A and B are shown apart, each in its own frame.
Chain A
C-alpha cells in the first residue's frame, strides 16, 4: 500500500496568514491526490481533486500543487471558517490511503 506522510500534524496560525500543509507519498502517484476538510460533527468536505483542481464552491484562497510524491495544500489567507482538520488522499493505486491529518487552529 502507498503510505502518505502528512505534516505538520497540527498548526496554529493567525487570521490572514498563509498556511501550507504537505503530503509525501511513499511511491510515485502521479497526480492521483485529493484534499479533504473535516470539521467536528460534520461529513468530510471534498476540496481539491487531482492535485490542483478546486471543487465547485471552494474558495479561491485554497490551492494545491505537486506531482509524483510531494504535494502541498495552501490557504493563501486563513479565515476563521477554515479551522478544521485537513487530510490528503491518494486514490491510485488501490487501496486509497489518507495522510494522518493536519489539525489547523487559530492563534
Chain B
C-alpha cells in the first residue's frame, strides 16, 4: 500500500526557516518524481516544486514564488522527501502536500496519483 505523510509544519515568524518531511512507504521514491503543493488562503492551490526520479537525474524545479528560498531533496535510504523552506513570508502560510508523480523524463507528468494528508505551516509575527 502506498502511503505518504507530511510532517514538520509549525507556526514560525517571518524570516525563519522550517523543514517539512514527506515520509513514504509502499514504493521506491527513487523511481518516481515527487512534488510539493500548497493550499493558501490567498491563492488556492499552488504548485511549489518537484524532484525528478533518479533515472532522470533527481534534479529539481521550483515555482518562481519560492525559488532561492525553498529546496526539495530526498533521502532514498529513509524513503523521505524534504522541503527546506528559508526566509519564510506570511504569504507562505498554508497547508503543504507532497505527492507521488509518475516520472516523465525532463518534464513533469502532472499525474499525481497519491497525496499525503497535508501539514499546516503558519508564518506570522
A residues neighboring B (CB under 8 Å): 1, 32, 34, 36, 38, 42-46, 49, 55, 85, 87, 89, 91-98, 100-101
Residue contact B47 to A95, C-beta cutoff 8 Å: yes
Decide if B63 is an interface residue (CB 8 Å cutoff): yes
Q: How far is the CB of A7 from chain B (nearest CB, A)?
A: 14
Known contacts A44-B97, A94-B61, A101 near B112 by CB under 8 Å: no
Interface size in chain B (residues, C-beta < 8 A): 21
| Residues of chain B within 8 A of A87, CB atoms compared | 44-45
Q: Which residue, A38, A85, A95, A101, has most C-beta atoms of chain B within 10 A?
A: A95
Q: How far is the CB of B121 from chain A (nearest CB, A)?
A: 15
Residue contact B110 to A95, C-beta cutoff 8 Å: no
| Residues of chain B within 8 A of A46, CB atoms compared | 111-113, 115
Known contacts A43-B97, A43-B117, A46-B115, A92 near B45 by CB under 8 Å: no
